Amino acid sequence: MVFFDYFDGFQAGIEFLIALGSIIGLLGLVMGIIFLIWGGSRLRYKMLGVVLVSIILLVICGFDTGLQYFNIYR
């Protein structure tokens, strides 16, 4: 049925966005901590925001959702 095919595609899109949010959160956390440690004072202030947003993304999307979805680590 066409109606169910639409919702299957919608569900696949939502799964992709959650996995993408997980990957972005993980990369933001890693890069934020690196620049938080070795960055200048203005950069440290900005990276604190990046780390906080990344933690929120990881809480919402899950830590390993993107890793499993994109088959990065098994």
User: On the CB side of 62, how many CA atoms lie within 13 Å of its CA?
Assistant: 12
pTM value is: 0.85
- In the chain, the number of structural domains is 1
Do 51 and 29 form a contact (C-beta atoms < 8 A)? yes
pLDDT mean over 29-57: 92
In a domain, 10, yes or no: no
Predicted confidence at residue 63, as pLDDT, reads 87
Predicted confidence at residue 18, as pLDDT, reads 95
In a domain, 35, yes or no: yes
Domain carrying residue 54: 19-74
Q: How far apart are CA 29 and CA 10, in angstroms?
A: 28
